[in-house]
Amino acid sequence: MGGIGKTTIAKAVYNYFAAEFEGSSFLANVRETSKQHLGLVQLRETLLFDMHGGKNLKVGNIHRGINIIQERLCNKRVLVILDDVDDLDQLKTLAGGHEWFGLGSRIVITTRNKHLLTSHGVSGIYKVQGMKEKRALELLNWNAFKREKPLEDYLALSDRVVRYTDGLPLALVVLGSFLCGRTEDQWQSAIHNLEKKPDKKLYQILKISYDALQDNEKRLFLDIACFLVGEDKDYVTKVLGSSNFCPIIGIDVLTDMSLINVDFNRLRMHHLVEEVGKEIVCQESPEAANAVDYGLQMMFFTFSLKALEQIRLKELC
């Protein structure tokens, strides 16, 4: 998910291992750069520039660039980091296949979309996990107090912030920096407000994953975030499937995007992602309002089904 530390880990890997390869390149912000005019061409030129010690190589266009990369790098052992990829064309353009690079090369890709990696045939996938409570508290402390342990008077407040962030490193850094130097009353006030409305910066970063969804997937995400977290997956599929929209593939897409996970066949969602979903409902235009109406109808239908089941059980008893 967004803010979990993918880029941070990739940077650490690059800084630690780059010197062991014949060439190396860290292509940051692939998603954003690709949106620019000739953005993919620019990324290819950066890749070749990094690999050839500062020599500018113009690729002209995307198709010619493929041949140049293969010619220049097919016999070199290289390390390439493709950071924040969100489209299969980006992977095909920058790292089309194993034959592009020499034996022993390593291509590391960070993305929010697991299915992109599967589609491109990567050799291994590592899903970054949230921080454990002890490490999370330590990260918060370094940003809020510039020390490993919190000030005595702030221990309980720090624990509340850690529970709120649920192990998300970006949230710990953002909130720790915001709370740095503030009084206990200000901490209390900030935590109270966060529990009502997510931090703006966190909201914008986490919402990127939502924006990448198709319309049906967006409605499904909002329904789950607002009403269906913790429900049985098969039950949700049955309920939502009655509205002429089959949610099976949608649930799989949301799982690939790390917006939900399925634990013991129940739909789970990170606390902050759930908050983002509810905030989207509050903020967005008629499209989101329609999604809410749809969700309310489904919630009513869900509760009706549950009521009927309880009645049947009583009758059987």
| Last residue of one domain, picked from the residues 66, 91, 120 | 120
| 67 band by pLDDT with thresholds 50, 70 and 90 | confident
228 with 279, same domain: the answer is: yes
pLDDT at 81: 97
- What value does the mean pLDDT take over residues 308-312? 47
For the chain, what percent of residues have pLDDT higher than 70? Answer: 85
Q: Is residue 125, in this structure, part of any structural domain at all? A: no
**CB neighbour list of residue 33: distance below 8 Å, 6 or more residues apart:** 27, 39, 42, 43
Q: What total of structural domains would you count in the chain?
A: 3
112 with 19, same domain: the answer is: yes
pTM: 0.82
Q: Kind and range of the H or E element at 33? A: helix 30-34
Q: Is residue 190, in this structure, part of any structural domain at all? A: yes
Q: Which residue has the higher pLDDT, 304 or 118?
A: 118
**CB neighbour list of residue 20: distance below 8 Å, 6 or more residues apart:** 79
181 with 255, same domain: the answer is: no
pLDDT exceeds cutoff 50 at 312:
no
| Last residue of one domain, picked from the residues 78, 94, 120 | 120
Domain span at 177: 133-196
pLDDT exceeds cutoff 60 at 294:
no
218 with 158, same domain: the answer is: no
CA–CA gap between residue 256 and residue 250 (Å, rounded): 10
Residues 153-162 as b/e (b if ≥16 CB within 10 A, e otherwise) read ebeebbeebb
pLDDT at 55: 62
User: Could you read off the pLDDT of 191-243 as tens digits, one per residue?
Assistant: 999 988 889 999 999 999 999 999 999 999 999 999 999 999 999 998 888 76
Dihedrals phi, psi of 85, to nearest 5 degrees? -90, 140
| Last residue of one domain, picked from the residues 143, 171, 196 | 196
94 with 160, same domain: the answer is: no
pLDDT at 244: 65
pLDDT at 246: 84
64 with 154, same domain: the answer is: no
Q: Is residue 126, in this structure, part of any structural domain at all? A: no
115 with 138, same domain: the answer is: no
89 with 149, same domain: the answer is: no
pLDDT at 48: 87
244 with 272, same domain: the answer is: yes
Q: Is residue 299, in this structure, part of any structural domain at all? A: yes
Q: Is residue 128, in this structure, part of any structural domain at all? A: no
pLDDT exceeds cutoff 80 at 293:
no
| 57 band by pLDDT with thresholds 50, 70 and 90 | low
User: Could you read off the pLDDT of 137-152 as tens digits, one per residue?
Assistant: 999 999 999 998 888 8
pLDDT at 52: 79
Closest C-alpha to 210, from 195, 226, 222, 227: 222
pLDDT exceeds cutoff 60 at 179:
yes
Q: Kind and range of the H or E element at 267? A: strand 266-268
User: Could you read off the pLDDT of 259-284 as tens digits, one per residue?
Assistant: 999 999 999 999 999 999 999 998 87
Q: Kind and range of the H or E element at 57? A: none
Q: Specify burial of residue 259 (Cβ count, 10 A radius: 0-12, 13-18, 19+).
A: buried
Q: Is residue 112, in this structure, part of any structural domain at all? A: yes
163 with 261, same domain: the answer is: no
173 with 255, same domain: the answer is: no
212 with 172, same domain: the answer is: no
